[in-house]
Amino acid sequence: MLHMRRYRYYVLFTAAVVLLLYQFSKGSEQWHPSASILSNPEHDRDRGSSGITSSHGTNELPQQVNGKTGNDQNKVSIPDLKNPTYGSDNTDHVNVNRPPVSNSDTQGKEKQVFEYDKDGAKKETPAQLVDKPGKNVWDGKQPNPGAHTTTTAHWTRPTQNFPIPDDEIIPLPAGKPKKIPALQYPFGKETKEARLKREDRQEKVKLEMERSWAGYMKYAKGHDELSPVSKRFRDPFCGWAATLVDSLDTLWIMDMRDEFEEALVEVEKIDFTTSATRTEIPVFETTIRYLGGLIAAYDVSGAIYDILLQKAVELAEILMGVFDTPNHMPILYYNWKPQFASQPKRAGASVSVAELGSLAMEFTRLAQITKQNKYYDAVARITDAFYEWQERGTSLSGIFPEHVDASGCNRTAQSELDAQMNELGTKDSKNIYTRSEEPALESAASETTEGELHAFEKRGIAGTPDEDTTIPAKFIENGEEIHVGPDPAVVPKWTPSHADRRSSENSEKETRSALDKPLLPDCVPQGLAPSGWSEQYSMGGSQDSTYEYFPKQFLLLGGLEPKYKTLHIKTTEAVKKWLLYRPMLPDEDRDIRFTSKMITKGEPEIDATTEYEVTHLTCFIGGMFGIGGKMFDIPEDVEIGKKLTDGCIWAYESTPSGIMPEGAHLVPCDDMDDCRWNQTMYDQRLDPLWSTRATRLEEYYKARAEKKRKAKEEAERKAAEAKAEAEAEADPGPQDNIEKSFAGNNGIRRRAPPSKIGSSKNSAEDSRSPRLGAGQIPLQEDEDDDGFNDPARPISHEEYVAKKIENEKIPTGYVDVNFKRYILRPEAIESVWYMYRITGDKYWQDKGWKMFSAIISQTRTEIGNSAIDNVLIRDSRKVDEMESFWTAETLKYFYLLYSDPTLISLDEWVLNTEAHPFKRPT
């Protein structure tokens, strides 16, 4: 009996083991190495040195990553993106296969990097969000009734409406990289004293990073940004942990390896196929922060963490949908949910230059890593469009207006064509246009008008007809086919690779298919063009990073694409001709530069107006001039870069807080070589109405004197009347004799009491009475007040200037400070870092330290650093926002300013506009 009981226990135990093995085998199918998109053995590349070492001086990285051991550290698997595995047609989400977990005996930290908490990630539910305009902020307490709810819609790969044939994809430039002059100063051996000073500063920067990172991970992990005052979080992007992804390479560069490995676990949990906070992807911000952050972290860490490349590819595949337009210009706010992403659409008719042109580096570097030309093709077409436009000419030849029509449609020409077609239809006594009954086609948010969404269907109209030909077209009206043109039997075939190209040879089947498929309304094609009748040109917001990318793309492509050199040189020449100015300062010996904003209607020599602005965003330009001047051997541009960078340093030093404002205006010098301080001119610029104030004040005093004269005459008249009346009462006349006849035996008169007017006791009271005593003149205004107490008195020019400076706390030299905030921006310290690395001058390190000390003193909170409301006062209100670029850029640039110059050398790396380093070809 005992033997049988033992046998039953053995059977039960065996069954349990078999069941567990079965469940494990099912759960591990998706992790099979053969299914990973990162396990294509056909594409390998040499890794080379990352240029960054651990704290022990060696590349102490996990020696087994997804099956790669220490013996094959010089190779990396390139993903095969031609046929990635996605969810089946009956699912609503993408299923990008993940790499297998290593089965090695790796212990401790190395093992934690790769054992992602997939089950935990699935269980996580996004916290409730309080809906605020432009922000999503967790209340930290109760779910808010108006909060967003987690969306269930997931991205799936849509069918392309305008695919590019394989033979038309623009490949990466081939060949050996060209020799480019060294950008970085040849630093020598530093003294012990200098090294200790530098390392002490560097360590203090790192401490700020550690505190900000700890605050983010404790209170905002998995969300976009930390709110460092209230200890909450914000999700202004798509809730994909922007700060975490944006800071990955910073963690590695600062040798915060434990934090880096912890962050990798969170990276794996990000689901780019859905968002609980936004219905559209802000393409520019997503590209520079997320895609750039993942790629840079992959590069700086030695290209061994496949999860980083995998996530970069996953995101890039989603973003590739933005280029599916007739002219392949991108949709910049992309609703990537399936029901919208599948609709044909055009790029916007009014988009910013920066958003359009600042995608190049990220997609180019991804193409280099993956060997997939399609990523490069997507951005090369944008570059070609800018290059063609620059060659064709803009109002300020060489640079582009702030807002661009990227739709590819010449609306004026299309209107004329429509009028011609309608006239032809009128002659045939038929209305050839009917409003489409098909659902409105999707368009980028705020990038097309309502009229375009309900445009007439004009099937078969070619974009640009050949000479001496009539455009064949077929239209549907009330179910009846209406033909226009010489060949009514043919409906031209839509060729999706080119919006303006159609085939005239179609079968009946193709004809039916063309009619059934909803197409975008035809248009007369054009390249990039200004948007609107007024054009703004500057190097500031909405324009900046496109120009920054021209020389950096030249570096990233090893000098193999000369278009970027042409674009850069023509840009800098235009800046020097039209925008560069020297401000007038009390310190006449400080020779600095800024760039202005110019507004024109197309004829700048005649109608241009200039705003002599100074904005924090524009401070990147010092580094841009420095890099371009070095690589293209233009010493003048390096010198201009120094002056532009020093201008931003002056802007920091000029305020009580020691921090530069977001935006302000200065007074330009007429002569850049002779710029003396002129107090009269400065005061006049402070007061836009200075020329009229003296006249208005003079007119006021004339009117006041006339008023006084009239008041005096009136007072004298009344006094005379009162005197005559008093004298009449005192003169005994006939009436007085009558009164005496009625007097009593004692001879006393019976009359009214004598008047007290003019008596000393009541003189003050009587002077205010309408009835005045004899000779009494009413009191006048104090003749010495000069009208200062009169609210109607116009203010003088001198008074206006004094009050404006006092009330607005305007620092000397500024005309106004229209944006007083500081939001932890990096652009000024970015150029300071470039200038130090290019020149080797410790002046930049010392100035940078003053900037850092001021920023920390004014922005530090218990758990991080916050934007502040007003740099014109000390200890300004903190606005409870810590953008991801604080840890991604600002602190990184400060850290690198005090690092060994070999760390992220300019001759080995090129940084994108979010300070993400990409490996340069060698």
Other C-beta atoms within 10 Å of 873: how many?
Answer: 15
Other C-beta atoms within 10 Å of 103: how many?
Answer: 8
pLDDT at 390 over 80: yes
Q: Is residue 10 situated within a structural domain?
A: no
Q: Do 335 and 422 belong together in one domain?
A: no
d(CA 45, CA 300) in angstroms, rounded, equals: 16
**Each residue's pLDDT tens digit, 525-581:** 999 999 988 999 999 999 999 999 999 999 999 999 999 999 999 999 999 999 999
Q: Is residue 710 situated within a structural domain?
A: no
Query: What pLDDT score was predicted for residue 666?
Result: 98
Query: What pLDDT score was predicted for residue 420?
Result: 76
Q: Do 253 and 318 belong together in one domain?
A: yes
Q: Please identify, among 526, 555, 581, the residue that sits at the C-terminal boundary of a domain.
A: 526
**Each residue's pLDDT tens digit, 61-79:** 333 333 343 334 334 444 4
Q: Is residue 799 situated within a structural domain?
A: no
- Residue 188 φ then ψ, to 5°: -95, -170
**Each residue's pLDDT tens digit, 347-358:** 999 999 999 999
What is the band of 414 on the pLDDT scale with cuts at 50, 70, 90?
A: confident
d(CA 581, CA 592) in angstroms, rounded, equals: 9
Q: Do 504 and 586 belong together in one domain?
A: no
d(CA 464, CA 543) in angstroms, rounded, equals: 31
Of 69-83, 220-234, 405-419, 726-740, the one with minimum mean pLDDT is 69-83
Q: What SS3 state is found at 574?
A: helix
What is the average pLDDT score of the chain? Answer: 77
More confident residue, 454 or 2: 2
**DSSP E strand stretches across 235-379:** 281-282, 333-334, 351-352
Query: What pLDDT score was predicted for residue 137?
Result: 40
Query: What pLDDT score was predicted for residue 182?
Result: 97
Other C-beta atoms within 10 Å of 428: how many?
Answer: 11
Domains of the chain: total: 2
- Give me the mean pLDDT over the 694-705 stretch: 90
d(CA 200, CA 187) in angstroms, rounded, equals: 19
What is the band of 340 on the pLDDT scale with cuts at 50, 70, 90?
A: very high
**Each residue's pLDDT tens digit, 441-488:** 333 433 433 333 222 222 222 233 333 323 333 333 344 443 333 333
**Each residue's pLDDT tens digit, 72-127:** 433 444 444 333 332 333 333 333 333 333 333 333 333 333 333 434 433 333 33
Q: Do 522 and 568 belong together in one domain?
A: no
Q: Do 175 and 273 belong together in one domain?
A: yes
Q: Is residue 732 situated within a structural domain?
A: no
Q: Do 274 and 392 belong together in one domain?
A: yes
d(CA 143, CA 676) in angstroms, rounded, equals: 61
Q: Do 136 and 184 belong together in one domain?
A: yes
What does the DSSP 8-state code read for residue 253?
A: H
pLDDT at 430 over 70: no
Burial 350-366 (b: 16+ CB within 10 A, else e): bbbbbbbbbbbbbbbbb
d(CA 887, CA 895) in angstroms, rounded, equals: 11
What is the band of 588 on the pLDDT scale with cuts at 50, 70, 90?
A: confident
- Using H for helix, E for strand and C for coil, what is the string for 442-500? CCCCCCCCHHHHCCECCCCCCCCCCCCCCCCEEEEECCEEEEECCCCCCCCEECCCCCC
Q: Is residue 1 situated within a structural domain?
A: no
Q: Is residue 760 situated within a structural domain?
A: no
Range of the domain at 907: 34-54+61-99+109-397+546-667+813-922
Q: Is residue 390 situated within a structural domain?
A: yes
- Using H for helix, E for strand and C for coil, what is the string for 653-698? HCCCCCCCCCEEEECECCCCCCCCCCHHHHHHHHCCCHHHHHHHHH
Q: Do 162 and 195 belong together in one domain?
A: yes
More confident residue, 658 or 98: 658
Cβ atoms 676, 589 nearer than 8 A? no
Q: Do 346 and 460 belong together in one domain?
A: no
Q: Do 418 and 518 belong together in one domain?
A: yes
DSSP for 130-166, written as a single string: EEETTEEE--SSSPPTT----------PPPPSSPPPG
More confident residue, 651 or 493: 651
Cβ atoms 467, 370 nearer than 8 A? no
Cβ atoms 462, 500 nearer than 8 A? yes
Query: What is the pTM (predicted TM-score) of this model?
Result: 0.73
Q: Is residue 369 situated within a structural domain?
A: yes
Q: What SS3 state is found at 118?
A: helix
Q: Do 358 and 485 belong together in one domain?
A: no
pLDDT at 146 over 50: no
Q: What is the CA radius of gyration of the chain?
A: 38
pLDDT at 641 over 70: yes
Cβ atoms 737, 829 nearer than 8 A? no
**Each residue's pLDDT tens digit, 152-191:** 689 999 999 999 999 999 999 999 999 999 999 999 999 9
**Each residue's pLDDT tens digit, 236-289:** 999 999 999 999 999 999 999 999 999 999 999 999 999 999 999 999 999 999
The token pair that represents 379 in the structure block: 């951005």
Q: Do 123 and 229 belong together in one domain?
A: yes
Of 215-219, 661-665, 672-676, the one with minimum mean pLDDT is 672-676
Query: What pLDDT score was predicted for residue 633?
Result: 97
Query: What pLDDT score was predicted for residue 736?
Result: 53
Cβ atoms 326, 346 nearer than 8 A? yes
Cβ atoms 403, 536 nearer than 8 A? yes
pLDDT at 754 over 50: no
Query: What pLDDT score was predicted for residue 522?
Result: 79
What is the band of 145 on the pLDDT scale with cuts at 50, 70, 90?
A: very low
**Each residue's pLDDT tens digit, 477-516:** 344 443 333 333 332 332 333 333 333 334 334 433 433 4
Give the domain CATH number at 567: 1.50.10.10
What is the band of 856 on the pLDDT scale with cuts at 50, 70, 90?
A: very high
Query: What pLDDT score was predicted for residue 255?
Result: 98
pLDDT at 651 over 50: yes
